[in-house]
Amino acid sequence: MCAHRIDRPADLDLVRDSYDRVADNYAHMVTTTGAGDIRSHPWLKASVDAFADSVKDSGPILDVGCGPGTVTAYLAERGLDVTGVDLSSRMIENARRLYPRCRFSVGSATELDLEDASLAGVLGWWSLFNLPREVLPQVLASFARALKPGGFFLTATHVGDEDVTRTEAYGGVPVRWTTHKWLPEQFLTVIEQAGLRPVAELRLLDERSGTGLVVMAERPA
């Protein structure tokens, strides 16, 4: 088991409770509007497809912060041995309801206790931006250790020069979380310092949701 302790975010309980409150609205939005579904976003789908092609038949895949399981289910359809995990138990209830044939569990990215070199791939798909700046590098290092040599990590996140605190989301539900935004170059550096080698990046420009960054990185063989 992993012997490397990761600091517990001070706001973890607030973030968990917030996502529990919005889980039903978010799942409804994804299933009825396609928002949040990679099939509705060609560039995002292409990124996930590249990840799937790179890790297929190589071993287990972990989707960290899977929400209602949309991407987990897509990867399972692609034939991957994938498990979704999320901090919010209500998100996982929705995931199990929507995709009963997929595997899901409740857990924080900071408390996964992953075995070294046990995974072919790790996905952090728009799910790591709530981690404080001092905690994210620790989590990324745990992913790097958990990957087999030659394994891949795919992540997507919001980037910018100012953090954003949310007080309501998805239909006006009261929430309390911070979106920690890194500059793209800083984010890539943090990934490298964690022991991963970035191999591809995609920058997404959206006037409504702001700039996003997709990065695929490899644990060196």
**208: which residues sit within 8 A by CB, 6+ positions away?**
none
Distance CA 140, CA 182 (A): 14
In a domain, 7, yes or no: no
Distance CA 24, CA 204 (A): 27
In a domain, 104, yes or no: yes
pLDDT of 138-170, one tens digit each? 999 999 999 999 999 999 999 999 999 999 999
Q: Which residue in the block uniquely carries the two structure tokens 């943090």?
A: 190
Mean pLDDT to the nearest integer, 183-192: 98
Write the CATH number for 120: 3.40.50.150
**What's the confidence (pLDDT) of residue 1?**
46
Q: What is the pTM of this model?
A: 0.95
Domain count, the chain: 1
Domain containing 54 equals: 12-218
pLDDT band at residue 36 using 50, 70 and 90 as cut-offs? confident
103 and 81 Cβ atoms separated by less than 8 Å = no
**What's the confidence (pLDDT) of residue 3?**
61
Report the relative pairing of strands 197-204 and 212-218 from DSSP bridges: antiparallel
